Structure formats: structure tokens, C-alpha cells
Amino acid sequence: MGSIFVWSILVSITPYLLSIISLFVFIEQVTYLKKKKASPGPILVLPFLGNVIQLIRNPTKFWQDQAKTATDSNCGFSANYIIGKFIVFIQNSELSHKVFANVRPDAFHLICHPFGKKLFGEHNLIYLSGQEHKDLRARIAPNFTAKALSTYASLQQSMILQHFKKWERLAIQNDNKPFRLRFLCRDMNLDTSLTVFVGPYLNKKSRNAFDKQYDMFNVGLMAFPVDLPCFAFHKARRAVTRLVEILSDCAKESKTAVQSGRPPVCLIDFWMQELLKEIQESGSGSNEVPHSSDTEIGGYLFDFLYAAQDASTSSLVWAVTLLEQNPEILSKVRQEVSQIWSPKSDKLITAENLREMKYTEAVAREVMRYRTPATLVPHIAGEDFQLTDSYTIPKGTIVFPSVFESSFQGFTEPEQFDPDRFSENRLEDEEHKRNFLVFGAGPHQCIGQRYAVNHLMLFIAMFTTLFDFERFRTDGCDEIVYVPTICPKDDCLVNISLR
């Protein structure tokens, strides 16, 4: 009897439930069309999910389709719908500049990750804007002076060489079988970043804890954003808190070391040197100077680490991929480096040497143009924003300016990998600099771009000088995949041997 009663209830309410669901679906479609207006994009979307299935299954094709829709329409942008979120993809460089130039409370908010604020926390360099953001960038600027960059170059090379020795041993142990370079580069970059950023302040115990938490963060970064225990996203969010605590302790130790008179040996020391000077000159306590607490600095250090990690890994892997495909370019790099640096000299490449490596720098910049690591820079529209004469982006829209698409606009034969476009004879980087958006533009343009270029140059110079290398080619190995920055589909499967 009980089951019959329950069944009769279900039968009686089913029409009402279906009506309510239909109403929600109808409202959802109407709302989407109202936001979309006449802009290019799908006319109808899957209820509740939108096109998230295509995005998860094949993100490369999904974004390529958005770009094609934007290009074919001559609008320079396209619209879509993902899990209840209306999105606008921007293909045109000038429209991307509009977004980058208007990061402020009443226009666009930079988020870098669709659920980044929840993942990274509110107090984050990424999410600051206006005068507060300007003040913090001014305090960070001394971390990237010529003197600081020279110090970092030595630290970068020492870590690169340490990892190259590991790679050599790995190749021998594996009987010279190919290995996936992306994972090795990722480990090398994490070691390099930590050495440059916090140097001697991360002891072995803290380092082991850091590695564990950072792995957890990386897994959650690509996971579905379910903030419940046992889910990867929740674990990643908690990992960020622990990582910031570790880096905060490093900031505290650095303050003590700098106060004792020790010269800067890493990035946090240059930072604390200027901060302590500001505190002393103002005559106020450290808690009265903005952005000076250990916890805040730990959070900003984590921002640096996140920005430097996957993007740099992508560029290193593509550099190896593209140089292996272009032996004449590889030969020119080796020739230039050999005139400046030899591994037999027991000397490191200096900042002055880097400035002499014009062709190697051109290669590095062309790698970043041709395979821009962070292809998309997500923003949220804080208010309605008029993007073109005929279209206004509605408040709450997630906007994706495509740095990758901009890199193929304006340049001569943009689909060709051609470092000479950055030569002093052609200067295409100057002529088309508004399309070279690898480091963004506007108030949030990457403050550490010279550091990033130096790192890629040092890697290219040393890797090509020390190793012979050959890709292990498979079908589709060079196809682009998102991890979350872009890499070759095979993670750059390569054989290496000492030259």
C-alpha cells in the first residue's frame, strides 16, 4: 500500500515538476539570447550545461571553434554558454586591448581562472585594481632591477645545470629511451622558482611539504570546482592556504636576515630590503605600511610562483619542439652561444652575455609568439561594457581575450616559425607590438617579463649547447593540448645525449 501511495504522489506531481523544469529551461534560453543579441555564437544551448561537454572533451577544438566563429563573422568576438555562465571570446587584438586597458572596479576584473578568487583567495595581486594595485606594483618593481635580475640569472643557471645532470643520468638509466620532457621541465621550473624567490629560507622539511601541497594544488587547478571535502578543488584550495603559510615563514626569515645586514641573495631579500627601508623612512610600524605583513607577502609570492610555473614550462617544451623541427635555426643558436659561453669554462652566462645574444632572444620571443603559453586571460565584466558600437557586454559575463589569436595578426606569414621577424632589420615586434600580447597589456601587464625571457634564453642556450636531442615522433604529437597552458600532445617525447 505504501509503495502504491508514493507512486500515486509521484505520478500526480510529475506534470508540475516537468512544467517547472520547462519554465527554467525557457527562462535560461531567453536570458542567453538576450545577452547574446546579434553577436555570433550558438542560437540554442544545452540546458544548464551549455557547451561544457565539448570544452572538457576537446578544449583545443572548442577554443578554435570560438576563434573561427569570431573571424568568419568579422565581429572579432563570439558568444557562448558554459554551466550557467555567459561567455564572450575575443579574437581581435584591438578588442582585447579594450579589455586589458579597462581593468577596474566599474569595468573588467582580471580573474586568470574562472573560479580563481575562490581558489586563490581574496587578497591576491591578481584581483587588486586601481591605486591599491599601482602601489603594490611600485613596491614589487625593485625585485626586477638589473642588479636583481643578474642575481637571479646565476641562481637560474645553477638549478638548470643541476637538473640537466639528472636528465643525463635518466637517459643513461633508460638506455637512451625517450622521456616526456614536460614533466622534467615542470620539476626544474619549480626548483628554479623557489630558489630564485625564497632561496635559503625553504629548508628540506618545508620543501617536502611544499612539493606535496603544490602537487595537490595543480591537480585541483584543472578539476571541476566542487568545494566539498574529498574533491580535488577543495583539496587545492586548502593546499593554497598551506603554501602561503610556508612562503609567509620565508618572508619572516628574510626580514630578519636583511635587518642583520646580509646582502640580498634572492627575490624576497630584494623585496624586504626595500620594504624595511620604507618602514624606516616613514617612521611607522610595519603593520602600518600597506602590503607588508608576512601573510600578504606570502600570498603575493605564491602569485609569482603560479605565474612562473606552467607558462614557463610550456615555453621550454615548445622551444625544444620547434628547434628540433628547424635545424638551421638550432645551428644559428649554437653558433651564437659558442661565441659567448662554453661549458668547459666553468663560468656562468652573465646578464651582459644575455644582452649580446640577440638571435637567441629573437628565438625565445618567437617561441612565445608562435605558441603563447597562457592563451586566454579570463576577466569578468563588473558592469555593462560597450565593446563595439553595436554590442555591449552584459555585467557578469566571463570575457576571454585570446592572446594566442592576437599573436597571428599583423605579422608577416604568422603561421611560420621565424625568429628573424624580431631582428633589428625587420623589427616586427615593434611594428606589430599591439599584437604581441604574451605578457598582457594595460595595468596588469606582467611585471616579471624580463625575468621570464631571461629564463627561456638561458634554457635554450644551455640545453642546445650541452645536448643533442631528437623527438620521438608519433601521429599528432605536435597537436596543441591544454594542461592548463598549451603543450604538444605527446608532452614532448624526446631522446637526449651529451654533445
Q: Is 453 in a helix, a strand, or coil?
A: helix
Give dist(CA 369, CA 435) in Å, integer.
9
Give dist(CA 364, CA 347) in Å, integer.
22
> Is the Cα dihedral 80, 86, 114, 54 positive or negative?
negative
CA distances for 245 relative to 136, 187, 241, 302, angstroms: 20, 21, 6, 10
Find the angle CA(86)-CA(90)-CA(94) to the nearest 5 degrees.
Answer: 140
The number of angstroms, rounded, from the C-alpha of 435 to the middle of its chain's C-alpha atoms is: 18
Phi, psi of 197 (to 5 degrees): -75, -50
**Contact between 339 and 359 (Cβ < 8 Å):** no
String of DSSP letters for 242-265: HHHHHHHHHHHHHHHHHHTTPPP-
75 marked ligand binding residue: no
The one-letter code for the residue type at 342 is S
Supply the angle between the helices 327-338 and 449-466 in degrees, to the nearest 10: 100
The number of angstroms, rounded, from the C-alpha of 267 to the middle of its chain's C-alpha atoms is: 20
The C-alpha cell that represents 225 in the structure block: 570546482
Phi-psi region of 147 (alpha: psi -120 to 50; beta: other; left: phi over 0): alpha
β-strands 108-110, 85-90: how paired? unpaired
Phi-psi region of 261 (alpha: psi -120 to 50; beta: other; left: phi over 0): left
In our burial notation (b when 16+ CB lie closer than 10 A, e otherwise), range 16-27 reads: eeeeeeeeeeee
Find the angle CA(277)-CA(241)-CA(196) to the nearest 5 degrees.
Answer: 50
Annotated binding site, which residues? Answer: 446
Annotated binding site for heme, which residues? Answer: 446
